[in-house]
Amino acid sequence: MKMKNRRAMGGMPILRQPRPRKTVLIGSKKIGSGPTRIICVVGGKSALKDALTAKRQGADILEARVDLWDNPGQAKTDLRELRKMKILPIIATVRRVQEGGFWPENEEIDRKNFLGEIIDEELADCIDIELNATKIRTAILQLCKRNEIATIVSYHDFVGTPSSSQLSKIIDRINRTGADIIKVAVMANSREDVHQVIRLTEKYAKKLRPMVMISMGELGRPTRVMAGLFGSSMTYGYCSAQPMAPGQVPVTELKKALQMSPNNISGQVRFSDLAAVL
């Protein structure tokens, strides 16, 4: 017989446990549960050296920004070398000009083909493709799925922070692409912009697939240093001569902050707990 309202001894209702959030593997690193993962951005002539530094400093994963190399051929050569060295798992990103990168906006077919070569050669454990790359996004996601490579669909705004309702729609659009990880990075022009990003991260990180929510710029640095406190599964840093994005934090600083935090598990504290330090 079905019981509509199951109760434990003493008449107290049995509470259904919340469904655990989906987790994703990037190489050997689990994303979505456990510690916040530190991603070190590398690219260009110093990529191999920086990759070794990243591992020494405590990064978990490399993001190879392929658009930072002088030419795609050299980028592939270095990616092959990184694979041979087995330093850390690799996220491959070919960021276009419209979203803070250097890949020309009128060369989307070439970008699709180049990403396809990276995927076919298994030169990366994860691919990042932008939400607004509508000409190639679906094809790249399908190719990654066939090759069992993790995916990030990302959105960037280097001017400001969209309204709460707009950001919610962006998050929903990314979620509906079927990407393994949601990434949103927007520029903070006020403390309220930062608070808004934190509130939305706390709201959605418990419901959806793993997320990375970043407030860029100096005001947004707390969202990088304390990423896991409000639900972000990963945080991006650098170990080269200069940051790769506004407000980006050195890997050493991220590592120290995460080691000091008693809550280095995504989503363990509420926005109200964090607001006092922002």
Residues annotated as part of the active site:
156, 183
Which distant-in-sequence residues (6+ apart) come within 8 Å of 179 by Cβ?
141, 151, 152, 153, 209
Query: Can you list the alpha helix ranges (DSSP code H) found in 97-136?
Result: 108-120
Query: In 3D, which of 141, 81, 82 has the Cα closest to residue 116?
Result: 141
Which amino acid would we find at residue 54? A
C-beta separation of 220 from 197 below 8 A? yes
Q: What percent of the residues of the chain are helix, what percent strand, and what percent coil, each to the nearest 5?
A: 40, 20, 40
The two tokens of residue 60 are 């978990």
> How many residues are recorded in the chain?
278
Strands 90-93 and 61-65: parallel
